[in-house]
Amino acid sequence: MIEVDLKIKTDNTRRMIEEAKAYSPAGVIGDGRWYEPYPLFIKKTLGSRIWDVDDNEFIDYHASFGPAVLGYNDPTVRAAVVDTLENEGVLSATPHPKELELTRLFSQIIPCGEKTILCGGGGSDPMYNAMRVARAYTNRTKLLKFEGGYHGWHDYLTVSVRPSLEDAGPADAPNSVSASPGILQDTVKQVVVAPFNDEEAVERIVEREKDNLAAIVVEPGYSGGCPVMKLSFLQLLRDLCDRHGIVLVFDEVVTGFRTHLGGAQALLGVTPDLGVFGKAMANGFPISALTGKREIMSLFQPEGPVFFQGTYNGQVLGVVAALKTIELLSDGEAHKKLWRLGDKITDELNAVADELEIDARCYNFGSIWGMYFTRRPLENYRDIANMVLLNRDNPKGYAMKNHLMNNGVFVTRSPRGFVSTSHTDQEVDRTIDIIADFCRTHQEDLR
Ligand SMILES: Cc1ncc(COP(=O)(O)O)c(C=O)c1O
């Protein structure tokens, strides 16, 4: 039985998490921040590095769940934000010249981007607005999502995010499982759930529901933790939407700006009707966007009837950070490096797994990568359900996480990690060596 405990000094973290439990749920601000045995309290992030309150320094692959595509606290982005703060202020909540620059830029670089709305914070906000406008455009009510997919905290799609396999129903016709008490059953009933990558099943489900479906929502690559996506599957979704007048929505909150300047849609050559962006768009500053076809986006108020408001929409610091981040990504060199480092991790770790003949495979989609202790094909939620979290229920993943942390590499609870342009080849080589060492040490248990 494989077992590796966390051995680094965590006195300050443990004191803080115990105290924090009195003031916030389990001492963390959101479920994603909790991991076993306890989450480290982080006091500083810079470039590819992260420091905790016990002065442990790590090479980081958490990237604050994806935003830090240039590395944490990029100095050029920071300088642009500081300059804006000093000379222009924080928020006017009026039209702003930089907001014009950013929406114009979206129409130049994102294939589906004709008109854009900017939200003030995370990717959940534009996802929510995408569902509302898709319903208004089609005059239909149901939304199709894929089992295991996460599209934000709002009720519209908080269904079958990580369902237990007892509740999940047949693999090729999954149940719609509410992810939380407090969500109305009427809302859950409006969500049709399909298995990712299963062309036959999705075609059958769409044929059945076609008159009710307003939107099909999909993450174009590394979807809901599933590292493999068939391009033909994405193309099929495009065809089905065209055939039945359904709005195709790409959730590019993770893939946007990280995999390609124009999003995964530009990389893969499949253009949705609506695209949702956040995270890497501003390298850690909160801002997000919904962009898409003119005839749909023009339905938003005040041009059309679809309610759209928000005090922080297009807040200027986020817009400035986005403009600078996109500028830094725009010469193509950044993405070349991100892909090269991601591919290197995968190739070298798979060579180690082959050499040791262990049951393990590494995957990446550019800079998004993850190590899975199985050689079964990973094509949908059911294939990864017991590996979604690096906790004690997943002993191999949990042991690897602790081994990484014990050796100065920071990951949190997901097998999915992120490389940034700040990572050096030496840091990536060191990370590969540390995982290889784990595989060698536990070779027998990993077979
Ligand atoms: C694919 C995807 N969509 C949407 C979201 C929601 O974004 P946010 O947490 O910024 O609201 C996330 C967050 O992790 C995500 O991974």
Sheet holding 247-251, edge to edge: 115-119, 288-292, 274-277, 247-251, 213-218, 142-146, 191-194
Q: Determine the structural domain holding residue 183 and report its residue range.
A: 75-329
Tell me: the pLDDT tens digits for 271-280? 999 999 999 9
Position 54 in a domain: no
Q: Residue 316 — pLDDT band, cuts 50, 70, 90?
A: very high
Tell me: the pLDDT tens digits for 84-135? 999 999 999 999 999 999 999 999 999 999 999 999 999 999 999 999 999 9
Let me know how many helices (H) and strands (E) the chain has, helices first.
14, 14
Alpha carbon of 253 to ligand 1 centroid (Å): 6
With 90 as the cut, is the pLDDT of residue 382 above it? Answer: yes
* Atom from ligand 1 closest to the CA of residue 65: 14
For the chain, percent of residues with pLDDT exceeding 70: 100
Q: Which of 33, 62, 151 has most ligand 1 atoms within 8 Å of CB, for mutation?
A: 151
Position 317 in a domain: yes
Alpha carbon of 442 to ligand 1 centroid (Å): 34
* Atom from ligand 1 closest to the CA of residue 223: 1
Name the residue with tokens 């790409």: 250
Q: Which of 217, 279, 381 has most ligand 1 atoms within 8 Å of CB, for mutation?
A: 279
What is the pLDDT at residue 225?
79
Tokens of 391: 């906790």
Alpha carbon of 278 to ligand 1 centroid (Å): 8
- Other CB atoms within a 10 A radius of the CB of residue 408 amount to 16
Position 109 in a domain: yes
C-beta of residue 136 within 8 angstroms of C-beta of residue 151: no
Position 45 in a domain: no
* Atom from ligand 1 closest to the CA of residue 149: 1
Tell me: the pLDDT tens digits for 154-182? 999 999 999 999 999 999 999 999 999 99
Q: What average pLDDT does range 350-369 have in this prediction?
A: 98
C-beta of residue 257 within 8 angstroms of C-beta of residue 329: yes
C-beta of residue 178 within 8 angstroms of C-beta of residue 185: yes
What is the pLDDT at residue 383?
95
Position 265 in a domain: yes
Alpha carbon of 317 to ligand 1 centroid (Å): 20
Measured from CB, residues less than 6 Å from any atom of ligand 1 are 65, 122-124, 127, 150-152, 219, 251, 253-254, 278
With 90 as the cut, is the pLDDT of residue 224 above it? Answer: no
* Atom from ligand 1 closest to the CA of residue 219: 1
Alpha carbon of 439 to ligand 1 centroid (Å): 31
Position 305 in a domain: yes
For residues 389-407, b (16+ Cβ closer than 10 Å) or e, as one string? bbeeebbbbbbbbbbbbbb
What's the domain count of the chain? 1
Alpha carbon of 122 to ligand 1 centroid (Å): 7
What is the pLDDT at residue 317?
97
Q: What average pLDDT does range 425-438 have in this prediction?
A: 98
With 90 as the cut, is the pLDDT of residue 419 above it? Answer: yes
Alpha carbon of 124 to ligand 1 centroid (Å): 6
195: CATH = 3.40.640.10
Position 16 in a domain: no
Q: Which of 124, 131, 368 has most ligand 1 atoms within 8 Å of CB, for mutation?
A: 124
Q: What average pLDDT does range 182-194 have in this prediction?
A: 98
Position 159 in a domain: yes
Sheet holding 368-372, edge to edge: 361-365, 368-372, 416-418
Tell me: the pLDDT tens digits for 247-257? 999 999 999 99
Q: What is the mean pLDDT of the chain?
A: 97
C-beta of residue 152 within 8 angstroms of C-beta of residue 221: no
- Other CB atoms within a 10 A radius of the CB of residue 283 amount to 29
Alpha carbon of 277 to ligand 1 centroid (Å): 9
C-beta of residue 253 within 8 angstroms of C-beta of residue 123: yes
